[in-house]
Amino acid sequence: MLCSKCRSSSIPAVHFKRPLPFPLTHRPVSFQTNTNAPNHADPFHQTSSSFSPSRLGPFTQVPESTHFNDPHSAHSFCSNALKVSAKMGFLREGKQLHGHVVKLGLYNLQSLQIQILNVYVKCKDFKNAQRLFGEMRKRNVVAWNTLISGLVNCWGNYESKLYLGFSYFRRMLLEAVGPDDITFNGLFRVCVNLNDVEIGRQLHCFVVKLGFGSNCFVGSALVDLYAKHGLVEDARCAFDFVLYRDLVLWNVMVYCYASNSLAKGAFGVFNLMRLEGVKGDEFTFSSLLSSCRTLGSCKPGKQIHGIIIREAFDSDVLVASALVDMYAKNDDIGDAWMAFDAMSIRNVVSWTTIIVGYGLHGKEKEAIGLLREMFREHLYPDELTLASIVSSCGNVSSASELMQVHAYMVKFGASKCFNLVVEPDLVTWTSLICAYAFHGLAEEATEVFEKMLAYDIMPDQIAFLAVLSACSHGGLIQKGLHYFKLMSNEYQIFQIQNIIPVSLTFLGELVF
């Protein structure tokens, strides 16, 4: 395969040293599969005579007896049960159904083979998926797509597995099976997960040669790939090439501009979208609102807010949270609160957004009050939420308030939360020390204090109060005395309120 530059955009053209086994046309065509496909694996048959559909009952009609009088009933039951097993991730039932299909003599039916393959792929049993795929005498485009799309859906974080997608695609071409829009959509998503835009460029040119460049489903994945690499012009070129655009493609293009801090471009696409009679959804409005933060003004956001109310999206949690964030980031904490207060349903994201908003506007006490209220609603922040709250509430001066914010941190995993803060300051370090001290983890508290000193962060009275308290409750008398002398002699901190009782505790324990 040789590459050169296409005349349009900067996409490399793909030239083949030998003719492809199927024609290059402007539209997808149907192709014959290779009936003599080689057997790449040993046969795998689950021949258990007992079939126990225990977990399938609530999802599909399970007959009292699995002995069927006619093939149609057997095929219908197995097909429905396999669909449920794949959707719910029931691997054990899927294997039993595999054996049942063999026992009923239906194993050579391609439709059932593909459904069994889908069960193994969805359940991440790739060993048996490969075995079954090797057994298939006929492999049509649906079978190949099941493997290729399954790789990105189920093994998106495993690079070696993702590259297998292109290996299968090459084998698919060699066996003269023509790809379709699902194939290319899956491959572009593989490129996104691999963070490899160069392969995506080559695939883009191949897509254009095969006549899929104007396909909306393929175009959505291609625009998303370019958007995530900041290639906005290439994304727009791919977008403009598509003749009939659905809402997903419009949303991806709006997101492309918004995620690359190009608010005017995002609003331009939105206006074009409305001119063509396409109404936005929650994803459209969320992207537009997120782009408003780069404008430094609430005016465009308020206009979008009006459209959101008219089209009844103001009750959507995703959109309402984006509204709160938009107002908070544009220094309008009053309207941010009004948008939050109007929400009938709130999740962790919406709570985090308003808490961080108050923290960034110097209203740390209100932010901590909202955090308590969030707990009362039985909603608990994750590590990212806690890291955001810690970063935003940087001016909290009371040790008791720090304790309230971070008592939850150790239960959840304080170190995980702390590691998410890009540039931890004195307040962040002290918060972690307080969290460990509060839960009686004295050794961990002193380790963090020492690390803070190593980073040349100067401790204040609250930091010393936290580490002295940890040493006192943890029985680390010598360490506590060392920190007491360090506080007095090196940092010149004397007789601060709340530190005297802790200091006396050390002196008393040292004497007795």
Taking only the tens place, the pLDDT of each residue in 174-216 is: 999 999 999 999 999 989 888 889 999 999 999 999 999 999 9
Please identify which residue in the block is written with the tokens 């299968």: 168
Q: 46-81 as b/e, with b when 16 or more CB fall inside 10 Å? A: beeeeeebeebeebeebeeebebeeeeebbebbbbb
pLDDT digits (tens, 9 = 90+) for 144-179: 999 888 877 766 556 777 788 888 999 999 999 999
Contact of 401 with 365, CB cutoff 8 Å: yes
Backbone φ and ψ of 228, nearest 5°: -75, -10
Section 373-399 average pLDDT: 67
Residue with the bigger pLDDT between 408 and 278: it is: 278
Contact of 393 with 364, CB cutoff 8 Å: yes
Contact of 275 with 250, CB cutoff 8 Å: no
CA atoms in the 13 A half-sphere facing the CB of 85: 30
pLDDT over threshold 50, residue 40:
no
pLDDT at residue 38 in the model:
42
pLDDT at residue 228 in the model:
92
Residues 6+ apart with CB under 8 A from 308: 285, 314, 319, 323
Tally Cβ neighbours within 10 Å of residue 240: 11
Cα–Cα distance, 21 to 3 (Å, whole number): 19
Q: Is 354 exposed, middle or buried (0-12, 13-18, 19+ CB in 10 A)?
A: buried
Cα–Cα distance, 487 to 494 (Å, whole number): 8
**Is residue 12 classed as helix, strand or coil in its secondary structure?**
strand
Contact of 283 with 255, CB cutoff 8 Å: yes
Contact of 25 with 211, CB cutoff 8 Å: yes
pLDDT confidence bin for 425, thresholds 50/70/90: confident
Contact of 316 with 339, CB cutoff 8 Å: no
pLDDT confidence bin for 231, thresholds 50/70/90: very high
Q: How far is CA 494 from the centre of its chain?
A: 49
Q: How far is CA 281 from the centre of its chain?
A: 20
The highest-confidence range among 30-39, 164-173, 376-385, 423-432, by mean pLDDT, is 164-173
**Which of 137, 140, 135, 165 is closest to 150 using CA atoms?**
165
Residue with the bigger pLDDT between 216 and 17: it is: 216
CA 323 vs CA 6, 101, 118, 338, 452: distances in Å: 42, 53, 40, 10, 37
The H or E element spanning position 115 is helix 110-122
CA 120 vs CA 115, 130, 186, 241, 394: distances in Å: 9, 9, 18, 37, 49
pLDDT at residue 13 in the model:
44
Domain boundaries, the chain: 71-135, 421-511
Please identify which residue in the block is written with the tokens 């002193």: 446
**Which of 179, 177, 122 is closest to 147 using CA atoms?**
122
Beta bridge partners, 3, equal 14
pLDDT digits (tens, 9 = 90+) for 322-348: 999 999 888 889 999 999 999 988 998
**Which of 271, 287, 277, 280 is closest to 244 using CA atoms?**
277
Residue with the bigger pLDDT between 303 and 21: it is: 303
pLDDT confidence bin for 100, thresholds 50/70/90: confident
Cα–Cα distance, 194 to 91 (Å, whole number): 27
The whole model's pTM is what? 0.68
